[in-house]
Amino acid sequence: MKSQWDCLLANLGAWEGSFTRLSPSGKVLEDVPSIVSFTGLNDNQTMRQIVRLSPPNQPVSEKVLEYSSLGRNILLFDNGAFSQGTIQFAPFSEFGAELGLIWNDRRLRLVQLFDKQAKLTGLTLIREKLSGSETPERPPLQADDLIGEWSGEATTIYPDYRSPDSYTTTLKIQREGDRLHQELNFGRSIVTTAQIEGSVLKFDSSNVQVLLLPDGASSNCPTEIQPRKPFVLEVGWLIQPDLRQRLIRTYSDKGEWVSLTLVTERRIK
């Protein structure tokens, strides 16, 4: 693994796109053009980050940040993928996290926010490409895009910086009418079934939902966080018809952030 700072440098450049605010059910509420730039200073020992938003019919807003170290609430992978957010879930406190994927000249980021009652209040989907890039955006994700057998390579990193774990995964997804059946294997097997309701997948016997979003993206999280139960926050990205990445931020039954996992999977059937 590179140092965390060197991983951050994979995000250098000016990223043009938009911040799309979504309801908890995935309805688009607002779309704001954006430019987010990362510039290395002092021989890349300091990062200058500028976030420029251009809301329709409103003044442009600009936030400038400079930093030379990273907080304990963020972890990054070698390719620049990252997650930052709340370290500890606690009742009656606002909670949330950002999950960011990067592939060549494109980035996809998702922010998931929960209110003081632990209910999902909304999401922000951020679709970006490097300035000058001509790479097109992917179509909105459909349930049928996920059907098949996927073989993956996963790496899990930890907030205490212990050695990463790497392992293989398989994911089988089948559809029967308006039901989706999923079997995930990564040393142990997890079998789940979801109801397809338009662009929402609602999983049986839980309050977990997956939203199918623009640019081949998906959001996986609870609609309400349950005390004393483990949970995950996840973003998925169908980069090509047979290539998908997922980034998973995992919390324990005590509400502690325990790991971050990056999965790169290819459809083999």
Could you give the domains of the chain?
4-130+139-267 (2.40.128.20)
What is the model's pLDDT at position 143? 96
The pLDDT of 161-182, averaged and rounded, is 95
The maximal CA–CA distance of the chain, rounded, in angstroms, is: 58
**Residue 157 to residues 10, 108, 261, Cα–Cα distance (Å):** 17, 20, 6
Q: What does the mean pLDDT of the chain come to?
A: 95
Work out the number of other CB atoms within 10 angstroms of the CB of residue 258. Answer: 14
What is the model's pLDDT at position 240? 96
Query: What is the per-residue pLDDT across 19-73, written as a single tens digit (0 to 9) for each?
Result: 999 999 999 999 999 999 999 999 999 999 999 999 988 999 999 999 999 999 9
Percent of all residues in the chain with a pLDDT value above 70, rounded to a whole number:
100
Counting every residue written for the chain, the total comes to 269
Q: Which of 135, 148, 199, 137 is nearest to 175 (CA)?
A: 148
How far apart CA 129 and CA 246 sit, in angstroms, is 19
The pLDDT of 6-15, averaged and rounded, is 97
What is the model's pLDDT at position 91? 85
The pLDDT of 222-241, averaged and rounded, is 95
How far apart CA 197 and CA 26 sit, in angstroms, is 12
Query: What is the per-residue pLDDT across 82-111, written as a single tens digit (0 to 9) for each?
Result: 999 999 999 889 999 999 999 999 999 999
